[in-house]
Amino acid sequence: MMKPSESVKIQNSDGIVKSSSSRRRKSCVMRRTHSTPQPQRDEAQRRHEVKLRANRTFCEAVKFDRELLENVKGFLDPEEGMRLYDTALLAAGKGPCLEIGSYCGKSAIYLGTACREKNSILFSIDHHRGSEEQQPGEEYFDPELFDFASWRMNTLGNFRITLDKAGLEENVVPIVTRSDVAARMWSSPLNLVFIDGGHSYETALMDYNCWAGHIVPGGYLLIHDIFPDPANGGQAPFLVYNHALESNLFKELPMTKTLGVLQRII
């Protein structure tokens, strides 16, 4: 769901907290933009427009609500979402899928739509209290998702609105608790698990330990926010991804941007 900042937090005059690393990344992007020759900028723009057209065509082909996808809060790139959808299409016909980290439902649209096409179910786990990096004062805090009555984060309302608008209430089952609590009595084999919950190493590893064993041979394990270079993001998902590979239970499939895709082999 999120990539935690491991850098120093800086508060600007508006009270908005930003990390020094994200400020540095933005400035690097600006420098590249200013120094890029015109032909390369034209080519980049052409590719961007081709990508937008492809995304529109894709959304229309699978009857996605493009406006809904663009407006749902979340941190999933459209190409990563399409990879989730494609992988879930391969998995969902054989049994249920499960995601950890519902947030406001952006990934559930992609996974749940595939489940709907295969008459399957997506279990979507989230305590909806926000992960570590989404708490007040942290880098990814969103005041629109803060319940001032209980003084806690609450993303459940937004998630349910997303499911309703996407027509997925009969194919996505929200499980509102921590993933380790949900795992205590879990016994159903799973054909796909998508880990995108808390991004501390302890939480990400716990999610892996709780759920990887339920994936059937041939099933898929997807992990979001894989950053091999520490300069680009937090390392916890990448460490868990490597831990999964070292178990020899999974083989590595091509990544899509920061989305790691593994297939269980035994």
β-pair partners for 173: 123
CA 138 to chain CA mean position, Å: 19
Query: Is residue 106 near Mg ion by the rule CB under 5 A?
Result: no
Burial 181-210 (b: 16+ CB within 10 A, else e): ebbeebeeebbbbbbbbbbebebbbbbbeb
Q: How many residues bind Mg ion (CB under 5 A)?
A: 4
Using CA of residue 131, residue 132, residue 133, residue 135, what is the dihedral sign? positive
Query: Using CB atoms, what's the residue nearest to Mg ion?
Result: 224
Q: Residue 65 has which token pair?
A: 């609500």
CB of 196 to Mg ion, least distance (A): 4
In whole angstroms, what is the distance from residue 99 CA to residue 91 CA? Answer: 13
The minimum distance between CB 224 and Mg ion, in angstroms, equals 4
Tell me which of 126, 133, 139, 196 binds Mg ion, using CB under 5 A.
Answer: 196
Strands (E), 87-185: 97-100, 122-125, 146-147, 152-153, 172-175
Spot the catalytic one: 34, 127, 128, 199. Answer: 199
Q: What is the closest distance, in whole angstroms, from the C-beta atom of residue 189 to Mg ion in the complex?
A: 25
Query: Using the rule CB under 5 A, which residue among 225, 236, 241, 250 binds Mg ion?
Result: 225
Residue 48 annotated among the catalytic residues of the structure? no
In angstroms, give the least distance from the CB of 97 to Mg ion. 17
Q: Is 224 in the site for Mg ion (CB under 5 A)?
A: yes
Binding site for Mg ion (CB under 5 A): 1, 196, 224-225
Residues recognised as catalytic: 199
